[in-house]
Structure 1
Amino acid sequence: MTTSACDSPGLLTVDAVIAQLLAQAIAPTARIRLPLSAASGRVLAEDIVAPHDVPAWANSAMDGYAVAAADLQTPMTSLAIDGRLAAGDGSGSALTPSHARRIFTGAPLPAGADTVVAQEHCLREGDRISIPITTLAANVRAQGEELARGSLVLSAGKRLSANEIALLASLGQAKVSVFQPLRIGLLSTGNELREAGSALAAGQIANANGPGLAALFRGWGFDVINSGIVPDQPAALRSAFRALSSQCDVLISSGGVSVGEEDHLKAVVSELGELALWRVAIQPGKPLAFGRVGQRPWLGLPGNPTSALITAMIIAKPYLRRLQGQQHVQEAAYTLSAEFSWPKAKPRRQYLRASLTNSGGVTLHAQQGSAMLSPACASDGLAMIEAGRSLVAGEPVPFLPYASLLS
């Protein structure tokens, strides 16, 4: 296996870089209390314990008849009906011995009853009901079967989605304590960049990184201050960094961290703070850097749009999640069957635009250039091939869906 200048030895592995970043992530302390309607996507800042049993009382899981199972000793036992209970009613009086009570889903089980028989299994004739032999506690939601009073429901560090919001609401909790959203200062570097909608002269391109990364970070629940385009000039970079560092928790730039003569970013960061690491064994996205500007952490993403987005999703995301106080920070890959071959091993871990197939496997998009954005829009996620590995069709390959990477 040959090694090109772009794949020179000494590159840090993706896993090593993520581990270094997580080790340096400082947990947040600032928190706010929000109504549930505003808490989706925020990170829980407190443990939640059940204030009562869930369910709070035994209730029916079916429309049917509440009985005592001990009364059902023979097939199709005939019992008199002593009343009815609907959802929202109290439990009423105790069940009359050797009787049945009409009951509806969600209604509390009356004292003396321990079983519910589904209505379709019964035969009613006037005020009597014939009921088959039924298993004790059938169709009954027991008190506390989901959660016992005082038990841990959600741990601090959990990012709240619709599932958690619904659960908190079911417990009667109208507000919740969450960490203050992380403020990301974003800048795009490059003399060639112009904002979308501007007229382009020869050699100029529209800035895709600024809008794309801002949308990505906001989709993860962070606040973004986008300072736009900064030219590849040391003075302009210093000024932009100083302004952003006074407003933000973390600084993220795209471009200017490669080895070209116009890549001044690393020198400026070293001057204003510290350059802690540079260059990762990932493709696309090798020229990724990390350090600090003053006391603010800084991530330098590559300038190629696809490289910037992929390194943000794979490397920046777990770090930013940890800075936000989130407990779970890395995405789990699915193992699928490769419906493609990768005959030549590469010295860097590959993240390839890929799509799911009808047979449950994964296939690659025909275009994998790091400056190409359209393949991502035509793909379902990223297939991952480890450094030094080749692949033949039919072998397992890890797959990271965009559905999880983008949310």
Structure 2
Amino acid sequence: MGTDHEDLVWRETVLGEVLSARREFVSAVGTETVPLGSISGRVLAESIVAQRDVPEHDFATMDGFAFDATDSYPLAVVDGEVFPEDEPPSIGSGEAIRVATGAPIPEAANAVLKREEATVADGLLRGTDIAPGTYTYERGSNVSEGDVLFDGGERVSAKDAILLGDLDRPSLEVADRFSTGVLATGTEIHEGRSRDLDSPMLAGLVRSWGHEATYEGTVPDEYDRIESAIDRLATDYDVVVTTGGTSVGHKDHVVRAIDELGTVLFHRVRIRPGKPIAFARLPDHDAVVFAIPGKPIGAHTVATLVMRPFFTGETALPTVTATVERAVSLGPDGFEYAIPVTISNEDGGRRAMPLGHRDSPLRVYDDRFDPSVLSSSTRASRADGLVVTRTPLEAGDDVEVVPYSVIE
């Protein structure tokens, strides 16, 4: 099936613009020092280079006896036992010493014989034959001095505190969080005749991605008021996120306003739902604007697929494999379709039901995916993830599901 949407751009293309803008913002914002317990979701202000070998000594990974495995039994057991808090003692050729798990082993030792495999009689050790390296964690095998372990601009997580703690880094210099103002447009919302369903969701996403978000209220569908509000927020915030008014109707003023205030880098992406997203840079304000379409499920979809990389630096979409339970046909070629699915585990297998299909709890379409209606169906938010596809789904085929839990 052909397409007459040649002015639209693919997601892979627009993400380059998004990441380029992000790199500039990370380098331009201020920094702060945070303890390891507060690093999750933060962006490093500098690269982290190992200042020493880790571990600094070979150490035992089992309770037992440390010695040179090239020596022959019997070995003379020297007095004492080495514990993790001790400095490693010296032993000579043909000698062994008792060690506890986690204890540094003598420089002359290169292996540990487990206690249950050892026999000591008259001060002499005998046991099974072992090779050098047995039950030892060698110096520098984890990290070598000079290794670049984290790059400046990298987003770190709670698990990174493990390695950073091992490098004796109790705190980190990180970039300040992006400040974000969220503005809802639409006369029906401004006058209270319709609920603003997008702003709390979008602000929550920004916070879940490690940044700050402030709700800045609503404006009606009036060009001057929309432009004035965006102009004001771009002065106060690094990022402005607007909702609604991004299509081509007579009252859709947002894209024209941000084009007047700066440069629109893209408008309309080949994603359904969520197509009419726009992204602009406002150099006079040192700010960027994401103009998000108003239908809530479409807004969430395109925010997680296109806006998220600006805040996280991550473009990968981790997936889980599931067997799709119903066939779903698509609309025109030339789009990625983001199909919400629920996940169940049956007979040891993972199964995906398109939420919105006539056989699902939300009956929005028969067999052909309807992104226009579904993007307004708030119950679709109960899906577990998305299948992002350019080809129809066939019942019984395996599909890759992007769980919401990994992109929110």
SS in 1 for 2:159: helix
Shift of 1:126: 7.4
The 10-residue stretch of structure 1 (293-302 or 217-226) with the greater mean CA deviation from structure 2: 293-302
1:393 aligns with 2:395: yes
Q: Is the 8 A contact 2:234 2:288 kept in 1?
A: no
Deviates more, 1:285-294 or 1:119-128: 119-128
Q: Confirm or deny that 1:148 pairs with 2:134.
A: no
Aligned equivalent of 1:54: 54
Cα distance change of structure 1 residues 357 and 125 upon mapping to structure 2, 3 Å threshold: farther
Residue among 329, 352, 365 paired with 1:362: 352
2:337 to 332, 350, 357: 350
Q: What is the SS of the residue equivalent to 1:291?
A: strand
Cα deviation, 1:311-339, whole Å, max 9, x if unaligned, reads: 11001112344xxxx4xx20234363442
**Partner of 1:188: helix, strand, or coil?**
strand
Q: Residues 345, 396 of structure 1: CA spacing in aligned structure 2 closer, same or farther, 3 A cutoff?
A: farther
Aligned-pair Cα RMSD in Å: 2.5
1:163 aligned partner, one-letter code: K
Counterparts of 2:14 and 2:29 in 1: how far apart (Å)?
A: 27
Asked whether the equivalents of residues 82 and 96 of structure 1 are also in contact (C-alpha less than 8 Å), the reply is no
How far apart in 2 are the matches of 1:33 and 1:52?
Answer: 25
Contact 2:9 2:268 in 1 (8 A): yes
Rounded Cα–Cα distance in structure 1 between residues aligned with 2:113 and 2:51: 31
8 Å contact from structure 1 (residues 337, 394) kept in 2:
no
The SS at the match of 2:242 is strand
AA aligned opposite 2:350: G
Between 1:157-166 and 1:28-37, the stretch displaced more is 28-37
Deviations 1:281-301 (A, max 9, x none): 211112212224554322110
Contact 2:81 2:97 in 1 (8 A): yes
What is the 5 A alignment of 1:84-163?
Answer: 84-92=81-89, 94-124=90-120, 127-163=123-159
In 2: Cα distance, 1:62 partner to 1:374 partner: 54
Give distance in 1, aligned partners of 2:277 and 2:128. Answer: 70
Equivalent-residue separation in structure 1 for 2:266 and 2:43 (angstroms): 28
In the TM superposition, residue 230 of structure 1 has moved relative to its aligned partner by 1.9
Structure 1 residue 341 corresponds to structure 2 residue 333? no
Distance 1:246 1:84, change over 3 A: same
In 1, Cα distance between the equivalents of 2:127 and 2:237? 68
8 Å CA contact 2:323–2:350 kept in 1: the answer is no
Partner residue in 1 for 2:316: 331
TM-score, scaled to structure 1: 0.85
| Distance verdict in 2 for CA 1:24–1:70, change over 3 Å | closer
Look up the match of 1:307.
Answer: 298
Structure 2 counterpart SS, 1:193: helix
Unaligned runs of 5+ in 2: 365-373
2:107 and 2:263 map into 1 onto residues whose CA distance is: 70
Q: Secondary structure at the match of 2:259?
A: helix
2:50·2:145 contact (CA, 8 Å) conserved in 1? Answer: yes
SS of corresponding position for 1:70: coil
**SS of alignment partner, residue 356 of structure 1:** strand
Residue 215 of structure 1 and its aligned partner are, at CA, apart by 0.7
Report the 3-state secondary structure (helix = DSSP H, G, I; strand = E; otherwise coil) of the residue aligned with 1:363. Answer: strand
Aligned equivalent of 2:380: 375
Within 5 Å, give how 1:213-252 maps onto structure 2: 213-252=202-241
> Residues 114 and 404 from structure 1, CA distance in 2 versus in 1: closer, same or farther, beyond 3 angstroms?
same
Change (3 A) 1:48 1:229: same
State whether residues 39 and 158 of structure 2, in contact with CA within 8 Å, keep that contact through their aligned partners in structure 1: no
State the alpha-carbon separation in 1 of the partners of residues 23 and 155 from structure 2: 17
2 CA distance for matches of 1:39 and 1:344? 42
How far apart are residue 46 of structure 1 and its match? Answer: 1.1
Contact 1:72–1:131 (8 Å) recurs in 2: no
CA apart distance, 1:8: 5.0
Q: Report the secondary structure of 2:218's partner residue.
A: strand
8 A Cα contact 1:64 1:103, kept in partner: yes
Q: Could you tell me how far 1:277 is from its partner in structure 2? A: 3.0
Q: CA deviation at 1:253?
A: 0.3
> Matched residue of 1:398: which SS?
strand
TM-superposed deviation, 1:351: 0.7
Aligned to 1:166, the other structure's residue is in SS state helix
CA contact (8 A) 1:34 1:175 kept: yes
The structure-2 alpha-carbon separation of the partners of 1:30 and 1:82, relative to structure 1 and needing over 3 Å to count, comes to same
Q: What is the alpha-carbon distance in structure 1 between the residues aligned to residue 159 and residue 54 of structure 2?
A: 16
Instruction: Give 2:275's match in structure 1, choosing from 258, 263, 286.
Output: 286
Is the CA contact (8 Å cut-off) linking 1:331 and 1:404 kept in structure 2? no
Q: CA deviation at 1:276?
A: 4.0
Tell whether 2:195 aligns with 1:206: yes
How many angstroms apart in 2 are the aligned matches of 1:211 and 1:130? 69
Contact 2:318-2:406 within 8 A present in 1 as well: no
Residues 118-145 of structure 1, C-alpha deviations (whole Å, 9 max, x = no match):
1222235575543111112211111111
Aligned with 2:54: secondary structure? Answer: coil
- Whether the aligned pair in 1 keeps the contact of 2:54 and 2:166 (CA below 8 Å) is no
Q: Give me the whole-angstrom Cα distance separating, in 2, the residues matched to 1:33 and 1:23.
A: 23
Match of 2:367 in 1: none
Partner SS for 1:89 = coil
**What SS does structure 1 have at the residue aligned with 2:104?**
coil
Question: How far apart are 1:391 and its partner, in Å?
Answer: 2.7
